[in-house]
Structure 1
Amino acid sequence: MSRWWTETVAALGDVVPLPLAALLLLLLALLAALAWYFFPAWVPRRLPSRRLPRLRLPHWRLPRLRLPRWRRPRLRRRPAPPPATRSPLVPAPRTGEASPAGRADRLAAEGRYAEAVRERLRDMVHELVRRQVVEPRAGMTVTELTDAAARVRPATRTALHEAGTIFSDLWYAQRPATAAHDRRMRDLATDLHRALDPDGEHR
């Protein structure tokens, strides 16, 4: 085998010089390596092919029948009635104080008429409790106070109703308080005292 290889190399050397043959073999190996590395990027993915044109036949479709949709009628809800406004709460009488009338006079002298009106209503409640016309109860409203006192002393309804209206306008309706409100509350306190006076009741 070595003799055959030697004779083949000698015959090739007579035609092509051995250094040139070695260089050609090296280039051939390099080309083969590059082809193997970049395969199949250099191979076309799709070969050109001849295709017959497609014949598009017209499609006949049946017309769609659209039926009207039945919708359930919406019922309109009636607006909810506004919540009933609750009567304002009565200021509870202060413990350890004989009468809030003196405090009301001081507040009125300082120009704090809204607070003076509140103290005069508190003075009325204090007198009703002291005479045992009503029982002191937390959370009592002006309307409840007027009804409870009128059941025992009917003559007190007018004064208590007007006093409660003035108190509600100033403290809940946020109306500006004036000296006239304080004077009227003072007169109503006097009327309540007369209605609660046993001597004046039997006249």
Structure 2
Amino acid sequence: MSRWWTEAVAALGDVVPLPLAALLLLLAALLAALAWYFFPAWVPRRLPRPRLRLPRPRRPRLRLRLPRLRLPRLRLPRRRRAARLGEPAVPVPAPRTPEPAAPGHASLADRLAAEGRYAEAVRERLRDMVRALVDRQVVEPRPGMTVTELTTVAARVRPEVRPTLHAAGTIFSDLWYAQRPATPEHDRRMRDLATDLHRELAEDGERR
């Protein structure tokens, strides 16, 4: 009759191979030896405690609403308003002074163009166009008026002058606002537009 441990080893060998069982026993002995050697370093000193965080009572804040002070708005002059909107103001024509007519007399715009000052010549021709509209009582001279306002006001009285004034205003804005270099072509185009405007005003005056 065999001993009980012989039967137990035989039963264990049927489930787990004996070399693997010996290796597992060796690892268990090694872990037990390490735990005994490093005791009590691996034992936690403090056990975790559950912490309950209660909401803190909030103190009511006092808000004082002060009345708003409304200051009156300052209205800028029309010339500054036109500059702020990004559109140059139309040059106001100077009062006409009688000059003695002489043969071969050239206008101020022609003299500026002859000197190569084409941007100033364009401005002078636009000023002459505004003077013609004022003389015909189409518009009233108003400092700070932009080219868009000039075209709108003049077109209400004389609708036929809208294309001419619009083209002249575009040239004037390109040179004096966009700061594009002026060329003789700009002056020639502006001179033709001024001639067209004078002709349209004269034809309309004859019909009336």
Closer/same/farther in 2, CA of residues 89 and 115 from structure 1, 3 Å limit? same
For residue 118 of structure 1, what is the amino acid of its counterpart?
R
Closer/same/farther in 2, CA of residues 187 and 98 from structure 1, 3 Å limit? farther
Can you list the C-alpha shifts for 1:141-192, whole angstroms capped at 9, x where unaligned? 1011001111111111111000000000011011110000001000000000
The structural deviation recorded for 1:201 is: 5.9
Extract unaligned runs of 5+ from structure 1: 1-56, 66-83
Q: CA RMSD in A?
A: 2.8
Matched, 1:119 2:106: no
Extract unaligned runs of 5+ from structure 2: 1-43, 53-83, 100-105
Contact 1:195–1:201 at 8 Å: present in 2 too?
A: no
> Residue 184 of structure 2: which of 164, 179, 186 is its match?
179
1:91 alignment partner in structure 2? 91
For residue 113 of structure 2, what is the amino acid of its counterpart?
A
User: SS of the counterpart of 1:182?
Assistant: helix
Closer/same/farther in 2, CA of residues 58 and 111 from structure 1, 3 Å limit? same
2:66 alignment partner in structure 1? none
- Report matched runs for 1:1-203 at 5 Å: 58-62=45-49, 85-97=85-97, 102-198=107-203, 202=207
The structural deviation recorded for 1:61 is: 2.9
Q: TM-score, normalised by structure 2?
A: 0.55
Q: TM-score, normalised by structure 1?
A: 0.57
**Structure number with higher relative contact order (C-alpha < 8 Å, ≥ 6 residues apart):** 2
2:40 alignment partner in structure 1? none
Contact 2:125–2:194 at 8 Å: present in 1 too?
A: yes
User: SS of the counterpart of 1:197?
Assistant: helix
Contact 2:154–2:161 at 8 Å: present in 1 too?
A: yes
User: SS of the counterpart of 1:190?
Assistant: helix
Contact 1:194–1:200 at 8 Å: present in 2 too?
A: no
Provide the identity percentage.
Answer: 71
Can you list the C-alpha shifts for 1:102-151, whole angstroms capped at 9, x where unaligned? 11111100000001000000000011111111011111110110011111
